[in-house]
Amino acid sequence: DTGVSQDPRHKITKRGQNVTFRCDPISEHNRLYWYRQTLGQGPEFLTYFQNEAQLEKSRLLSDRFSAERPKGSFSTLEIQRTEQGDSAMYLCASSLIGSDTEAFFGQGTRLTVV
């Protein structure tokens, strides 16, 4: 068990470009979450998967954002036509299904849109 890993750790892109981030959760974890964090703020929930099903999306997740978890293992988060306001740390977390479980976070992908 190597924990939750995210790739890349850092991404600099020009405004208008598309970017894709990957998250590999802890292997037996059924739940997978994406959060976004801007400087000085706590993380904000974006979306949640249970196995391969995307069960909830935040209103923060505009139509330029799409997330997938095709086989219930790794997940990708794509942002199309990036804007400067998309600059943030994108965090992935995973957990087991249950009422009394903790989520484990990756180190995040820091996106800078210039």
Partner 1 sequence: DAKTTQPPSMDCAEGRAANLPCNHSTISGNEYVYWYRQIHSQGPQYIIHGLKNNETNEMASLIITEDRKSSTLILPHATLRDTAVYYCIASNAGNNRKLIWGLGTSLAVNP
Site for partner 1, rule CB under 8 A = 4, 6, 31, 33, 35, 40-45, 48, 50, 55-56, 91, 93, 95, 99-108, 110
Burial of 13 (0-12, 13-18, 19+ CB in 10 A): middle
Number of Cβ atoms within 10 Å of the Cβ of 101 = 12
β-bridge pairing 109-113 and 10-13: parallel
Whichever of 77 and 93 has its CB closer to partner 1, that residue is 93
Q: Are 61 and 80 in contact (CB under 8 A)?
A: no
Whichever of 101 and 112 has its CB closer to partner 1, that residue is 101
Whichever of 14 and 99 has its CB closer to partner 1, that residue is 99
| CB 16, min distance to partner 1, A | 27
| CB 101, min distance to partner 1, A | 7
Structure tokens at 92: 């992935």
